[in-house]
């Protein structure tokens, strides 16, 4: 592509530099646009806007490609593990065995929560949604770990990052325990990151808990599949919150709040609820018709993506994992059959073909999580747990970026122009 782009406004011409990344579309650098022309660009939802430069994750939505630091997601999901992927996202390279061991040890040793945080949970109603608890507790970490909130100190930033990755499983497991009225379990350092989380969630103090290796592997893979996804809504929220200099725990709490929405991380919960509501394959056409009806707000949850206009590569791995887990555990779940059939029908339907709507990561994950024993309300909390590493990696990258400024979009104002105040008695 050319190295500059020209813009004509009225009888004036302006040139803007074109920047190229290592792969993917070029971008037009419009940073000087307003200063030179007195106009802004208009792009609600940022569909054509690159908000930053990043070296962490690359997505080619048309080709269905997702790379973390250059490594394809399917290779990482098949061959790596969540600790290694976390190291990769944070540091840019795969660790050597010593580095991996040290990183894993550091994360393991940060898994306990300040004891006083347990009382924080008790302020929530028992029926509180785990995401409501996660927002509150993660935000509260900034009141407990004062020695890692100075964002100008790279060491404190790294400690905060390690704490967030390490404590998130404990926080999520405690949210679950609180909802079922069981005692909280402390982490156990001889278990893996994922095994530890499973024990803290499903174990009880009254008896030993044995981690099922099949479930541990599937869960770890689910964490890898959710670890990062470039500048999605929650990551952009974390970056925007962080751009003001807010502390890391507050920024991640903001990311959790954004992730909760049904158009984003809340879709896994919504997708399983939808599949259960459909119940049997005969009802699929009714739901497909509703999804296509412009007057019906219903959407096929777990379908469609802002960036992927092809099969979400994470959905492919997730579908295969769903089959493996259910087979290994000897579970036959009609919901998986409904999901498969729904996907098959939708993928042949003109509406979905024309709009390039394919199953996304959330379409099959609920089936696996439900087979493992998680209630639907925990699904998005698990997404938050895994995405925390992506959030902190992106947050660190932003703070270290000399081009970063406070995020401050402008607007096209369409409200009333200036008018005089009229006292209430005269209106």
Tell which one of 84, 220, 228, 362 touches ligand CMC (CB under 6 A). Answer: 362
Question: Which of the residues 349, 362, 401, 420 is marked catalytic?
Answer: 362
Beta strands in 43-132 (DSSP E): 57-60, 65-68, 71-72
Contact between 397 and ligand CMC by CB under 6 A: the answer reads: no
- In DSSP terms, 66 is beta-bridged to 59
Residue 296: active-site member:
no
Contact between 306 and ligand CMC by CB under 6 A: the answer reads: yes
Contact between 387 and ligand CMC by CB under 6 A: the answer reads: no
Contact between 263 and ligand CMC by CB under 6 A: the answer reads: yes
If the CB atoms of residues 45 and 208 are measured against ligand CMC, the closer one turns out to be: 45
> Among the candidate windows 198-206, 258-266, 335-343, 406-414, which touches ligand CMC by CB under 6 A?
258-266
Contact between 302 and ligand CMC by CB under 6 A: the answer reads: yes
- Shortest spacing between CB 37 and ligand CMC, in angstroms: 28
Contact between 267 and ligand CMC by CB under 6 A: the answer reads: yes
Tell which one of 299, 309, 329, 337 touches ligand CMC (CB under 6 A). Answer: 299
Tell which one of 4, 125, 280, 355 touches ligand CMC (CB under 6 A). Answer: 355
Contact between 303 and ligand CMC by CB under 6 A: the answer reads: yes
Contact between 64 and ligand CMC by CB under 6 A: the answer reads: no
Tell which one of 139, 248, 255, 304 touches ligand CMC (CB under 6 A). Answer: 304
- Shortest spacing between CB 246 and ligand CMC, in angstroms: 23
If the CB atoms of residues 203 and 265 are measured against ligand CMC, the closer one turns out to be: 265
Contact between 318 and ligand CMC by CB under 6 A: the answer reads: no
Residue 305: active-site member:
yes
Contact between 394 and ligand CMC by CB under 6 A: the answer reads: no
Query: For the chain, what is the HEC assignment?
Result: CCCEEEEEECCEEEEEEEECCCCCCCEECCCCHHHHHCCCCCCHHHCCCCCCCCCCEEEECCCCEEEECCEEHHHHHHHCCHHHHHHHHHHCCCCCHHHHHHHHHHHHHCCCCCCCHHHHHCCCCCCCCHHHHHHHHHHHHHHCCHHHCCCCCHHHHHHHHHHHHHHHHHHHHHHHHHHHCCCCCCCCCCCCHHHHHHHHHHCECCECCCCCHHHHHHHHHHHHHHCCCCCCHHHHHHHHHHHCCCCHHHHHHHHHHHHCCCCCCCHHHHHHHHHHHHCCHHHHHHHHHHHHCCCCCCCCCCECCCCCCCCCHHHHHHHHHHHHHHHHHCCCCHHHHHHHHHHHHHHHCHHHHHCCCCECCHHHHHHHHHHHCCCHHHHHHHHHHHHHHHHHHHHHHHHHCCCCCCCCCCCCCCCCCCCCCCCHHHC
Tell which one of 240, 291, 367, 381 touches ligand CMC (CB under 6 A). Answer: 291
Question: Which of the residues 293, 305, 337, 420 is marked catalytic?
Answer: 305
- Shortest spacing between CB 216 and ligand CMC, in angstroms: 24
If the CB atoms of residues 121 and 358 are measured against ligand CMC, the closer one turns out to be: 358
If the CB atoms of residues 104 and 268 are measured against ligand CMC, the closer one turns out to be: 268
Contact between 228 and ligand CMC by CB under 6 A: the answer reads: no
* Site for ligand CMC, rule CB under 6 A: 232, 263-265, 267, 291, 299-306, 355, 357, 360-362
Catalytic residue numbers? Answer: 305, 362
């Amino acid at each position: 592509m050319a190295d500059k782009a020209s813009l004509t406004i009225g009888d004036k011409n302006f040139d803007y530099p074109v920047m190229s990344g290592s792969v993917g579309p070029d971008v037009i650098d419009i940073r000087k646009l307003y200063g030179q022309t007195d106009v802004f660009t208009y792009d609600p939802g940022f569909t054509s806007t690159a908000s930053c430069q990043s070296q962490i994750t690359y997505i080619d939505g048309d080709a269905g490609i997702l790379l973390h630091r250059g490594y394809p997601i399917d290779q990482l999901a098949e061959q790596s593990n969540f600790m290694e992927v976390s190291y990769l996202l944070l540091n840019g390279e795969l660790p050597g065995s010593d580095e991996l061991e040290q990183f894993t040890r550091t994360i393991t040793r940060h898994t306990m929560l300040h004891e006083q945080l347990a009382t924080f949970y008790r302020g929530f109603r028992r029926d509180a949604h785990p995401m409501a608890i996660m927002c509150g507790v993660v935000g509260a970490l900034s009141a407990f770990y004062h020695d890692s909130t100075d964002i100008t100190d790279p060491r404190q930033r790294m400690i905060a990052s390690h704490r967030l990755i390490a404590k998130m499983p404990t926080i999520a497991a405690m949210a679950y325990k609180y909802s079922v009225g069981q005692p909280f379990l402390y982490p156990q350092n001889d278990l893996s990151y994922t095994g530890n989380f499973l024990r803290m969630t499903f174990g009880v103090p009254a008896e030993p808990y044995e981690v099922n290796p099949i479930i541990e592997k599937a869960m770890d893979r689910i964490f890898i599949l959710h670890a990062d996804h470039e500048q999605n809504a929650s990551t952009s929220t974390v970056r925007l919150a962080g751009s003001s200099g807010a502390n890391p725990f507050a920024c991640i709490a903001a990311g959790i709040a954004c992730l909760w929405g049904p158009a984003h991380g809340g879709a896994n919960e919504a997708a399983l609820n939808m599949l259960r509501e459909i119940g049997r394959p005969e009802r699929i056409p009714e739901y497909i018709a509703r999804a296509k009806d412009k007057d019906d707000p219903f959407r096929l949850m777990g379908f469609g993506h802002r960036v992927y206009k092809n099969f979400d590569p994470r959905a492919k791995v997730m579908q295969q994992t769903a089959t493996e887990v259910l087979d290994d555990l000897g579970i036959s779940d009609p919901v998986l059959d409904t999901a498969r059939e729904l996907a098959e029908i939708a993928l042949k339907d003109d509406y979905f073909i024309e709009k390039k709507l394919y199953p996304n990561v959330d379409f099959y994950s609920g089936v696996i999580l439900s087979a493992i024993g998680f209630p639907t309300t925990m699904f998005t909390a698990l997404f938050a747990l895994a995405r925390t590493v992506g959030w902190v990696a992106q947050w660190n990258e932003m703070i270290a970026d000399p081009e970063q400024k406070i995020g401050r979009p402008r607007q096209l104002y369409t409200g009333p122009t200036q008018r005089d105040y009229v006292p209430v008695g005269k209106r």
